[in-house]
């Protein structure tokens, strides 16, 4: 019947058996992953641990900047590492679509404190239109669901994928073990991946006055009121906003405010 909770069963194996197998495998993985010399080896070892009894495979690991988040280009082999189990063609399609519209699921997952499945994210953020592209692309390639793990202080997101819906198949204990495995992988990746010269976030060169104007604009104040509060001329306020738009690559005033908020330049 609809509404009933399905038993947590994965490929006809009891959860306790799966958890025991994964827990045992993690001991060996933690000891062996330190010897991995390349990202491919790290992801291969991670996949070997989880694929034995669970419905999951490793999808990818993504590295993010340390400082203020910037618009990042996905660079395969530098800040994105794809596992060999991923269906052929998926990465090319994913990359092309991500240049048009960043996936809100990945953006949210980066700041999540716990592993969340793709289908759970869909229920949380209820994406419509183009915002659903990442999920629909997964379906195209047989990826029915996945699990995102933000680790290393949100510097890495490790993603698993599955041909099955996962929400009713992953117990809290399994999620914790999968998160732990992702953490071990991220630690080793951080050690062996070449330094990324574009990784340290930098503040766009906005002046204090430009930031003040944007902060007030974010509170819904109009140009005249901002000018009054800052004791500036209205044309001066407009000039500050225009310069901020240019520096942030924004189309208009509203977009500039949104970018400043996204980059955490204003509260």
The domain spans of the chain are 15-192, 208-262
Tokens of 145: 């669901």
**SS3 at position 147:** strand
pTM recorded for the entire structure = 0.74
Q: How confident is the model at residue 233 (pLDDT cuts 50, 70, 90)?
A: very high
CA 215, 217, 220, 222 torsion-angle sign = positive
Confidence (pLDDT) at 24: 85
> pLDDT by residue (tens digit) across 10-45?
444 456 777 888 888 888 898 889 899 999 999 999
List the Cα angle 56/61/66 in 5-degree steps.
Answer: 145
Confidence (pLDDT) at 235: 95
Of 101, 63, 68, 61, nearest in space to 82 by CA? 61
For domain 15-192, which architecture applies?
2-Layer Sandwich (3.30)
Tokens of 263: 């980059």
Confidence (pLDDT) at 213: 93
Q: How confident is the model at residue 4 (pLDDT cuts 50, 70, 90)?
A: very low
> pLDDT by residue (tens digit) across 164-184?
998 788 888 889 999 999 999
Given a cut of 50, whether residue 217 has pLDDT beyond it is yes
Confidence (pLDDT) at 238: 94
Q: How confident is the model at residue 7 (pLDDT cuts 50, 70, 90)?
A: very low
Q: How confident is the model at residue 200 (pLDDT cuts 50, 70, 90)?
A: low
Residues 6+ apart with CB under 8 A from 190: 63, 152, 155, 156
Q: What fold does the segment set 208-262 form as a domain?
A: Arc Repressor Mutant, subunit A (1.10.10)
C-alpha distance from residue 78 to each of 54, 57, 120, 189 (Å): 29, 21, 29, 11
Q: How confident is the model at residue 239 (pLDDT cuts 50, 70, 90)?
A: very high
> pLDDT by residue (tens digit) across 98-137?
988 888 887 778 778 889 999 999 998 888 888 899 999 9
**Rounded mean pLDDT of 144-148?**
95
């Amino acid at each position: 019947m609809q509404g009933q909770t399905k038993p947590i069963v994965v490929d006809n194996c009891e959860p306790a058996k799966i958890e025991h197998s994964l827990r045992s495998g993690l001991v060996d993985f933690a000891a062996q992953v330190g010897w991995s010399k390349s990202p491919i080896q790290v992801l291969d070892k991670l996949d070997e641990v989880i694929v034995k009894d669970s419905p999951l495979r490793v999808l990818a690991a993504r590295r993010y900047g340390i400082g203020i988040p910037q618009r990042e280009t996905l660079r395969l082999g530098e800040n994105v590492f794809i596992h060999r189990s991923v269906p052929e063609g998926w990465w090319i399609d994913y990359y092309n679509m991500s240049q048009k519209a960043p996936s809100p699921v990945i953006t949210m997952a980066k700041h999540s404190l716990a592993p969340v499945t793709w289908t759970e994210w869909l229920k949380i953020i209820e994406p419509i239109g183009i915002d659903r592209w990442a999920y629909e692309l997964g379906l195209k390639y047989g990826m029915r669901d996945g699990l995102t793990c933000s680790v290393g202080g949100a510097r890495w997101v490790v993603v698993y994928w599955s041909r099955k819906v996962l929400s009713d198949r992953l117990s809290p204990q399994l999620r914790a073990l999968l998160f732990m495995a992702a953490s071990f992988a991220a630690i080793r990746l951080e050690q062996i991946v070449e330094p990324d010269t574009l990784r340290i976030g930098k503040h766009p060169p906005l002046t204090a006055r430009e930031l003040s104007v944007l902060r007030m604009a974010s509170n819904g104040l109009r140009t005249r009121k901002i000018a009054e509060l800052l004791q500036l001329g209205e044309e001066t306020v407009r000039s500050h906003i225009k310069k901020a738009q240019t520096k942030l690559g924004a189309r208009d005033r509203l977009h500039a405010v949104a970018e400043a908020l996204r980059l955490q330049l204003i509260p």
